A and B are shown apart, each in its own frame.
Chain A
């Protein structure tokens, strides 16, 4: 295809290219560097030393970045003289503390998951963590991924995961139907799984057969 023809192709709707950086505060930069740079071997790739400025009483800060692969980065802010808020014995992390009776599943729902290629790589990170102050807390086989979990020195849950198989086209359809059903149910009264599955069955009946006509080779991709 010539450049001339490419120039006339419409721009894609979906243009973002992954995570540039996800940023979190830390009150313990020493342990944070030990965890990410020394234990996990994530290179430090960028940092900013900035004097406080702007209309707010902004403290001086260091903004530093770790390479998490794929040119994506995990970043931290360390604010000089700034103290963590809330009851530090309560569940939570460096960013916020939750009420004491908050269950683990809710606290851990906010986390970052990094991808590795295969089981060897997953077990290599497991080995690095298990030899450190932050051993793996769980290794879980989910529906189509296997993951290890720990909490970093700031209390942020870190997941490292590998895909057990590629995502199939029918799973993309299923995700679309789930999300459409969820939006319908969540905007109504008393959302529940029962209501979602009932709505989703209506969407399956309305759309799944037509989807198959448009994707006649979906069975073959399943065997990849």
Chain B
């Protein structure tokens, strides 16, 4: 089951919002982190997040039994390892 963590800071709000808007994802809290979990691959559209590049490429804080299979100007894709 793909799962990743994002630190809750203002710059990461777009990533958290896009993840939470997708009904396939469950977004909960672990301390000051948001944890995104899904049954299938998690895909975050970069443009929808509004993140500028420096923020986008440093948004992922942790990977649990998961692997990043895409992280470019278009999207972040996290799949089960």
Chain A residues proximal to chain B, CB less than 8 Å = 140-144, 165, 168-171, 173-174, 177, 194, 197-198, 200-205, 207-212, 218, 222
Contacts and interface: CB of A to CB of B under 8 A. Distances in A.
B67 interface: yes
A142 B52 CA distance: 9
Contact of B32 (A143, A198, A212): A212
Interface string B44-81: 00000000101100101111100110000000000000
B8 to A, nearest CB: 7
Q: How large is the interface on B (under 10, 10 to 19, 20 to 34, 35 or more residues)?
A: 20 to 34
Among B4, B5, B8, B31, residue most surrounded by chain A Cβ atoms (within 10 Å): B31
B54 A143 contact: yes
Given A141-B52, A201-B62, A209 B31 contact: yes
A202 B63 CA distance: 9
B32 A170 contact: yes
A203 B61 CA distance: 11
Interface of B: 3-5, 7-11, 30-33, 52, 54-55, 58, 60-64, 67-68
B11 A143 contact: yes
A144 B62 CA distance: 20
Nearest to A142: B54
A169 B32 CA distance: 9
30 contacts: A140-B54, A143-B54, A143-B55, A144-B9, A165-B10, A168-B9, A170-B8, A170-B31, A170-B32, A173-B31, A174-B7, A174-B61, A177-B61, A194-B63, A194-B67, A197-B63, A200-B61, A200-B63, A201-B3, A201-B5, A201-B61, A201-B62, A201-B63, A203-B62, A204-B61, A205-B30, A208-B33, A210-B31, A211-B31, A222-B9
A170 B63 contact: no
Name the prevailing secondary structure of the A interface residues: helix
A1 B32 CA distance: 35
Among B3, B10, B11, B62, residue most surrounded by chain A Cβ atoms (within 10 Å): B62
A208 B29 CA distance: 10
Nearest to A199: B62
A209 B63 contact: no
A200 B62 contact: yes
Nearest to B71: A193
A205 B11 CA distance: 22
A210 B32 CA distance: 10
Contacts of B10: 165, 222
A204 B31 contact: yes
A146 to B, nearest CB: 10
A142 B67 CA distance: 25
